[in-house]
Amino acid sequence: MYNPEIKIHKTELLSDNWYILNKVTFDFKKNDNSWITQKREVYDRGNGAAILLYNSTNKTVILTRQFRLPTYLNGNKSGMMIEVCAGLLDQDNPEQCIIRETEEEAGYRLTTVHKVMETYMSPGAVTEILYLFLGEYDASLKVSEGGGLEQEQENIEVLEMTFNEAYAMIESGEIQDAKTIILLQHAKIKGLI
């Protein structure tokens, strides 16, 4: 593809039930110039975007709470996660996606967002690039109660709290979602709230 030190030999489709799971066989050139063959499973769910909604006047943030099956299967007793608004790009660019997801999940219609960074959240197994944003909200931007889309079977609780309360939830373990932690820490470092 892009790197002459990687040679893809075979890609086998293992599942396309919800997203795409492939088994890839490839050669990789090591630092000593020898080659090794490896097989890895790679999960492709598309790219996504996430946003920390903040109000600098009131020093508040909007987060969501929803059930996440993988966390439940891996020891999260309730399966509930507190997160920033997020979603898959589908056919949108990252900015369009996160503006759409903000309205669907939180009920706020933003017109501008600020890109913070692009990150791979689980690069050992998942292809997804996650685009992280900040967006300022106030009461004038509220257009609905949010909660997600019924046709996507979303059941999202919208949470508004002070930034300090949200930030303290990282240390208490109430917030364990990486994208949310990154965005809250970014806001703290930059002194946005």
Residues 134 and 185 in one domain: yes
pLDDT band at 161 (very low <50, low <70, confident <90, very high): very high
Query: For 42-101, what is each residue's pLDDT tens digit?
Result: 999 999 999 999 999 999 999 999 999 999 999 999 999 999 999 999 889 999 999 999
How much is the pLDDT for 182? 98
- For 98, the domain range is 48-190
- Rounded-to-integer distance, Cα 88 and Cα 121, Å: 14
- Residue 1 maps to a domain: no
Residues 30 and 72 in one domain: no
Higher per-residue pLDDT: 154 or 159:
159
**Is pLDDT at 23 greater than 70 in this prediction?**
yes
**Is pLDDT at 7 greater than 70 in this prediction?**
yes
- The residues with which 108 forms a beta bridge, in sequence order, are 142
How much is the pLDDT for 128? 96
Q: Which residues contact 75 (CB under 8 A, 6 or more apart)?
A: none
How much is the pLDDT for 119? 97
**Is pLDDT at 18 greater than 80 in this prediction?**
yes
- What is the chain's mean pLDDT, rounded? 94
33-47, 117-131, 147-161, 170-184: lowest mean pLDDT where? 147-161
pTM metric for this prediction: 0.91
Structure token pair of residue 9: 């030999």
Burial class (CB in 10 A: 0-12, 13-18, 19+), 109: middle
How much is the pLDDT for 1? 58
How much is the pLDDT for 145? 79
Residues 39 and 54 in one domain: no
Query: For 35-49, what is each residue's pLDDT tens digit?
Result: 999 999 999 999 999
Residues 38 and 130 in one domain: no
Residues 23 and 63 in one domain: no
**Is pLDDT at 150 greater than 70 in this prediction?**
no
Residues 71 and 110 in one domain: yes
Query: For 100-147, what is each residue's pLDDT tens digit?
Result: 999 999 999 999 999 999 999 999 999 999 999 999 999 999 998 787
Secondary structure in 3-state letters for the chain: CCCCCEEEEEEEEEECCCCEEEEEEEEEECCCCCEEEEEEEEEECCCEEEEEEEECCCCEEEEEEEECHHHHHCCCCCCEEEECEEEECCCCCHHHHHHHHHHHHHCECCCCCEEEEEEECCCCCECCEEEEEEEECCHHHECCCCCCCHHHCCCCEEEEEEHHHHHHHHHHCCCCCHHHHHHHHHHHHHCCC
Domain count, the chain: 2
**Residue pair 114/134 in contact by the 8 Å Cβ criterion:** yes
Q: Which residues contact 93 (CB under 8 A, 6 or more apart)?
A: none
